[in-house]
Chain A
Amino acid sequence: MDQLRGWWKRARALVRPTAVDREMTDELAFHLEMEVAKNLRAGMSPAAARRAARISFGGVERFKEEVRAERGIAWVETLGQDLRQALRGIRRAPGFAAVAILTLGLGIGASTMIFSVVDAVVFAPLPFALPDRLIHGRETNPEGADFSVSEPNYLDFRDRNQTLAGLAAYRVDQVSLTGGTEPERITAVAATHSLFSTLGIGAAIGRVFTAEEDRPDGAAAVVVLGHGLWQRAFGGDSSIVGRTITLKGQPFAVIGVVPSTFRFLQADAWMPLAPSPRSDRDDHWLDLIGRLRPGATVEQARADLARIAAQNSVTYPAVAGWGVRVHRLDEWIVGPGFRQSSLLLAGAVGILLLLACTNVANLLLARASARQTDLAVRLALGAGQGRLIRQFLTESAVLSMLGAIVGLMAVGWAVAALRSVPVGLVPRLETVAVNGRVLGFALAVAVLASVGAGILPALQASKTDVHSTLKRAGRSGGSAGRHRLREGLVVAQVALAVMLLIGGGLLVRSLVRLQRLDTGLATEHVWTVPLQLSPAQYPEEWKVARFYDALATRIEAIPGIRSAGATNVNPYSGANLVNDVTPDERAAEHPTGYLQAAWRIVSPGYFESAGVPVIKGRDFGEVDVVDGVPVAVISKTLAGRLWPGQDPIGKRLFWGGTDGKPRTVIGVVGDIRDVTVEAAPPPVMFLSTRQIVGPAMTMVVRADREIPNIGAEIRRAVWAEDANLPVPAVRAMAESRSEAIARPRFNAALLAGFATAALLLAVLGLYGVLSFAVVERTREIGVRIALGAEPPKVVGMLVGRGLLLTGLGIAIGLVGAVGLASLMTSLLYQTTGTDPLTFVAVPVLLLLVALLAAYFPASRATRVDPLTALRGE
Chain B
Amino acid sequence: MKPAPTNDVLRGTLDLLILKTLAPAPEHGWAIAQRIEQQSEAALQIGQGSLYPALQRLEQRGWIDSNWQTTDQNRRAKYYHLTTTGRRALNAETESWRRYVHAVELILQTT
The chain A residues found within 8 Å of chain B, CB to CB, are 1-7, 9-10, 23-24, 26-28, 30-31, 33-35, 38, 57-58, 62-63, 65-67, 69-72, 74-75, 384, 386
Given contacts A27-B29, A58-B48, contact A2 B84 (CB under 8 A): yes
Residue B75 at the chain A interface, CB threshold 8 Å: yes
Asked if B85 contacts A57 (CB within 8 A), the reply is no
B interface secondary structure, majority: helix
Given contacts A30-B77, A31-B30, A384-B3, contact A6 B56 (CB under 8 A): no
Residue B2 at the chain A interface, CB threshold 8 Å: yes
Which one of B16-24, B59-67, B98-106 is at the A interface? B59-67
A26 neighbours in B (Cβ, 8 Å): 76, 78
Residue B12 at the chain A interface, CB threshold 8 Å: no
B31 neighbours in A (Cβ, 8 Å): 34
Given contacts A58-B49, A63-B48, contact A70 B1 (CB under 8 A): no
- Can you pick out 22 interface pairs between chain A and chain B where the beta carbons lie within 8 Å of each other? A2-B63, A2-B83, A2-B86, A5-B62, A5-B65, A6-B61, A28-B48, A28-B52, A30-B76, A30-B77, A30-B78, A31-B29, A33-B75, A57-B48, A58-B49, A63-B48, A66-B3, A66-B49, A69-B1, A69-B2, A70-B60, A72-B60
Asked if A386 contacts B1 (CB within 8 A), the reply is yes
A6 neighbours in B (Cβ, 8 Å): 59-62
B48 neighbours in A (Cβ, 8 Å): 28, 31, 57-58, 63
**Given A1-B85, A31-B29, A66-B2, 20 new contacts (CB under 8 A):** A1-B62, A2-B62, A2-B65, A2-B85, A2-B86, A3-B62, A5-B65, A26-B76, A26-B78, A30-B29, A30-B75, A31-B48, A63-B53, A65-B3, A66-B52, A66-B53, A67-B52, A69-B2, A70-B56, A71-B56
- Which residue of the partner chain B has the closest CB to A71? B56
Contact with A along B15-53 (1 / 0, CB 8 A): 000000000000011110010000000000001110011
B30 neighbours in A (Cβ, 8 Å): 30-31, 34-35
Asked if B53 contacts A10 (CB within 8 A), the reply is no
CA separation between A10 and B31, bound complex, in Å? 25
Q: What 6 A-B pairs have minimum CB-CB distances, sorted nearest first?
A: A2-B62, A70-B53, A2-B85, A6-B62, A34-B30, A6-B60
Closest chain-A Cβ to B15's Cβ sits at a distance in Å of 12
CA separation between A636 and B69, bound complex, in Å? 109
Contact with A along B54-96 (1 / 0, CB 8 A): 1011011111010000000001111000011110000000000
CA separation between A2 and B65, bound complex, in Å? 8
The chain B residues found within 8 Å of chain A, CB to CB, are 1-3, 28-31, 34, 47-49, 52-54, 56-57, 59-63, 65, 75-78, 83-86
Closest chain-A Cβ to B75's Cβ sits at a distance in Å of 7
Asked if A71 contacts B49 (CB within 8 A), the reply is no
Closest chain-A Cβ to B2's Cβ sits at a distance in Å of 5
B61 neighbours in A (Cβ, 8 Å): 3, 6
A62 neighbours in B (Cβ, 8 Å): 49
Asked if B3 contacts A9 (CB within 8 A), the reply is no
A70 neighbours in B (Cβ, 8 Å): 2, 53-54, 56-57, 60
Closest chain-B Cβ to A618's Cβ sits at a distance in Å of 91
Closest chain-A Cβ to B47's Cβ sits at a distance in Å of 8
Given contacts A30-B75, A57-B48, A71-B60, contact A3 B3 (CB under 8 A): no
